[in-house]
Structure formats: structure tokens, C-alpha cells
């Protein structure tokens, strides 16, 4: 399954918890997402069968976060 990597401005676990519900709704069976907040780019990794994972980026942007695919 392809892995998409996004640079974000999500900075802490509290923000991740606020995004969790929306991101879980977007993820289909066997798809996964996670944040690496230790990385300088605050990485969001999305494992998805979708030809594009832009729906995850859009969900972050709707909630006021920056998200760009690397």
C-alpha cells in the first residue's frame, strides 16, 4: 500500500487528538495514519489505497492547519 508523506504544523498530541476523529473517518479498512511530531516537518504519514491522499490534507486545512505533500 502506498505511503503518502505530508509536512504539517501540528505541534502536539492535543492537536492530534482533535484531528483523530476526522482522520479516522477518512481512513478505510486497513488504512493507517500517524504523526511524527519529533520530525522538524511534523510529518503526517498516510498509508492508503487511494491514488491520492489529498483528502487527509484537506481535513487538516479545514481545521486550520497547514499540510503539504512532500
- Predicted confidence (pLDDT) per residue in 54-70, tens digit: 899 999 999 999 999 99
Q: What per-residue confidence (pLDDT) applies to 56?
A: 92
Q: Any residues with CB less than 8 A from the CB of 24 and at least 6 apart, and which?
A: none
CATH number of 3-69: 3.30.70.100
Give the pLDDT band of residue 1 (cuts 50, 70, 90). Answer: confident
3-class secondary-structure state, position 51 = coil
Is residue 48 scored above 90 in pLDDT? no
CA angle (40 as vertex; 39, 46 as ends), nearest 5: 50
Q: What pLDDT, on a 0 to 100 scale, did the predictor assign at position 63?
A: 95
pTM of the model as a whole: 0.90
Amino acid at each position: 500500500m502506498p505511503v503518502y508523506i505530508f509536512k504539517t504544523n501540528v505541534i502536539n498530541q492535543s492537536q492530534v487528538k482533535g484531528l483523530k476523529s476526522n482522520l479516522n473517518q477518512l481512513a478505510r479498512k486497513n488504512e493507517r495514519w500517524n504523526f511524527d511530531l519529533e520530525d522538524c516537518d511534523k510529518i503526517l504519514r498516510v498509508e492508503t489505497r487511494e491514488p491520492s491522499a489529498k483528502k487527509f490534507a484537506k481535513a487538516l486545512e479545514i481545521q486550520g492547519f497547514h499540510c503539504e505533500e512532500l
